[in-house]
A and B are shown apart, each in its own frame.
Chain A
Amino acid sequence: MILLTLDWAFIIEKLILIAIVVSASLVIAMYATYAERKVAAVMQDRRGPNRAGPFGLLQPLADGMKLFFKEEIIPNSSNKFLFIMGPALAMLTAMMTSAVVPWGNKLEIFGTTVSLQIADINIGILYVFGVVSLGVYGIMIGGWASNNKFSLLAALRGASQVISYELAMGLSLIALLMMTGSLSLKTIVEEQMKGGWGGILGWNIWYQPLGFLIFFVCAMAECNRAPFDLPEAESELNMGYHQEYSSMKLGFYLFSEYINMFISCAIITTLFFGGYDMPFIDESSMSVNMAALIGIVAFMAKIFFFIFVFMWIRWTLPRFRYDQLMNLGWKGLIPLALANMLITGAVILARQGF
């Protein structure tokens, strides 16, 4: 009978947390589309959406409504099951990554301590890598099931790009993991909070600048964002792997991309910029709830900054040519990541006195 006694409070707590995280990332992804258009506009001396609601703030709702009301077309020659599975998988994997991100330290509600992380698993980073590499199946299946040569080409591009950049991404992280000695994202954040000068000096960016750069470039490639948006190159492939999609299935693809961007910014922040660590504020001297609140605010501010940088880069750089993409990935980033790993290892050994 012991097997059947479930800790209902625990399950409810986690379910609520999941609901909050999922809906928050959906809303943020929604407004990321708005932010993207505004950022694009100001960088091109335009105004951007300003008709729907004050400052055009209802524009994402209008876009979503439009996508919902559009006719849903499933091509006759497509593989119907996989055709529906594609966007579903893309969306699912995009949402799943958020499970291991520590959004804050912990809250105290009605005497119980609630951790602001859905699951603090000790292989957090590996989980992220696993789910992210599943994400390419969404693109691959969608492009293949469309039974359209352009979609298939785009899907192939997407798959090869993600695989090539995942390697460099993983290698760049190994150096970081050697330093912290843990795969759990929560531990990595807590390690960083210990540093001097208000906590800033503990951030991994100071120890792993090259690793950060490689990780950042790879994250952009994994998100299929410009300048790595080859799977969606309109001028070469009509529209990309979602060419045959319409209505909300297309919406899910586009949306999952923005969620991916949000989550990858969250992971960059967690790994290199101290996660929910607010610099110059001593969290331990405050009440638990206040500290958690400040932590969430700091975390979100850092994430939004990186989302802005992602957009900034997108509206600055032209798309890579395919050979340039592969050269950069295999001949540029992977050797750099390996060198970074070796140097980090040597330094760690030297500090231990061989």
Chain B
Amino acid sequence: MQALTNRVKVVDRKPMTFGEKIYLPAVFKGMSITFSHMFRKKPTINYPEQRRQFSPVFRGLHVLNRDEEGRERCTACGLCAVACPAEAITMEAAERKDGEEHLYREEKYAARYEINMLRCIFCGLCEEACPKDAIYLSETFTPSNYSRKKLVYAKEDLLIPNVLTEADDLAKARGL
């Protein structure tokens, strides 16, 4: 029969020769292979002490951005929630009151903003959809947790530190 591909290998069903039957040559060959592996460089990275470099396009945990005066940029337009293929984002909009101008950049803001990190697939479409530069994917990944509820991140968990009032925290979060 003609072979369909050129990768066919015919199985050798010849009875074993004496050299094969006593296994020893094969055993010594195998042992020399494992012995040589003892001197190989180990690819392991000792995780908590050493960390792997993230690629520049790494998409990790989300942050909600503030502007240079420390005001939230998000206007709760809902485009991120629409763009989200995993339907992980929910929000509730609210109107900015008088005297809250230092908190929110525009007249409308997100009173509630939640991302379910168990649903999120970290595709980054929310980041692309946002017209206000309010949501970004950072270089940290989601820590594990014992409860599903705690993995629904609220606005407080996502917002970056205020540049005016929490400058130290911001510097730390940026790894400076």
Asked if B38 lies at the interface with its beta carbon under 8 angstroms from chain A, I say: yes
Taking a contact as CB atoms under 8 Å apart, the answer to whether B38 and A47 are in contact is no
Q: Of B27, B35, B37, which contacts A45 at CB under 8 A?
A: B37
B residues 1-47 near A (Cβ < 8 Å) are 21-23, 27, 30-31, 33-35, 37-38, 40-44, 46
Residue in chain A with minimal CB distance to B21: A332
Chain A residue nearest to B45 (CB atoms) is: A47
Determine the main DSSP class of A at the interface with B: loop
For the complex, what is the distance from the CA of A46 to the CA of B43, rounded to whole Å?
A: 8
A47: contacting residue among B23, B27, B40, B42, CB under 8 A:
B42
Given contacts A317-B30, A332-B22, contact A47 B44 (CB under 8 A): yes
In this complex, the member of A43, A46, A312 whose beta carbon has the largest number of chain B beta carbons within 10 angstroms is A43
B37 touches A43 (CB 8 A): yes
**Are B43 and A45 interface neighbours, CB within 8 A?**
yes
How far does the Cβ of A98 sit from chain B's closest Cβ, in whole Å?
Answer: 28
Asked whether, in the complex, the Cβ of B40 is within 8 Å of the Cβ of A45, the reply is yes
Whether A315 sits at the interface, judged by CB under 8 Å, is yes
Q: How far is the CA of A42 from the CA of B42 in the complex (A)?
A: 8
The answer to whether residues A313 and B31 also contact, given A44-B37, A45-B37, A332-B21 and a CB cut-off of 8 A, is: yes
Question: Restricting to A255-285, which residues have a CB under 8 Å from any CB of B?
Answer: none
| Per-position binary interface string of chain B over residues 110-121, scored 1 when its CB falls under 8 Å from any chain A CB and 0 otherwise | 000000000000
Those of A20-70 within 8 Å (CB) of chain B: 42-47, 50
The reply to whether B44 and A43 form a contact with Cβ atoms under 8 Å apart is: no
Whether, in the assembled complex, A160 has its beta carbon less than 8 Å from a beta carbon of chain B, the answer is: no
Q: Does A316 contact B (CB under 8 A)?
A: yes
Q: How large is the interface on B (under 10, 10 to 19, 20 to 34, 35 or more residues)?
A: 10 to 19
Interface size class, chain A = 10 to 19
Closest-CB distance, B103 to chain A (whole angstroms)? 46
List the B side residues contacting A332 at CB < 8 Å: 21-22
When C-beta atoms are compared, the residue in chain A nearest to B48 turns out to be A51
A46 touches B27 (CB 8 A): no
Give the chain B neighbours of A50 by CB distance below 8 A. Answer: 46
Residue of A nearest to B42 (CB): A45
Question: A315–B30 Cα gap in the complex (Å)?
Answer: 10
Assembled-state Cα–Cα distance A44/B38 (Å): 8
**A316 and B42 form a contact (CB under 8 A):** no
Q: Chain B contacts of A316 at CB under 8 A? A: 27, 30-31, 33-34
Q: Is the CB of B22 within 8 A of A315?
A: no
Specify which chain A residues have a CB less than 8 angstroms from the CB of B42 in the assembled complex: 45-47
Find residues 269-320 in chain A having any chain B CB closer than 8 Å to their own CB: 312-313, 315-317
Docked Cα-Cα span, A50 to B48, in Å, equals: 13
Q: Measured between alpha carbons, how far is A45 from B34 in the docked complex, in Å?
A: 10
**Contacting pair B37 A42 (CB below 8 A):** yes
Q: How far is the CA of A101 from the CA of B99 in the complex (A)?
A: 90
Chain B residues with Cβ under 8 A from A317's Cβ? 27, 30
Q: A127 vs B162: C-alpha distance in the bound complex, in angstroms?
A: 80
Chain B residues near A44 (CB, 8 Å)?
A: 37
Which residues of A lie under 8 Å from residue B33 when comparing CB positions?
Answer: 316
CB distance from A336 to the nearest CB of B (A): 9
**B44: contacting residue among A46, A312, A315, A328, CB under 8 A:** A46
Q: Min CB distance, A144 to chain B, in Å?
A: 32
Instruction: Give the interface of A toward B (CB within 8 A).
Output: 42-47, 50, 312-313, 315-317, 328, 332
6 nearest CB pairs, A to B: A316-B34, A43-B34, A316-B30, A42-B38, A47-B44, A316-B31
* B interface residue numbers (CB < 8 A to A): 21-23, 27, 30-31, 33-35, 37-38, 40-44, 46
Q: List 6 A-B contacts (CB under 8 A).
A: A45-B37, A46-B42, A47-B42, A50-B46, A312-B35, A316-B33
Inter-chain pairs besides A43-B37, A46-B44, A315-B34, 15 sampled, C-beta below 8 Å: A43-B34, A43-B35, A43-B38, A44-B37, A45-B37, A45-B40, A45-B43, A46-B42, A47-B42, A47-B44, A47-B46, A316-B27, A316-B31, A316-B33, A316-B34
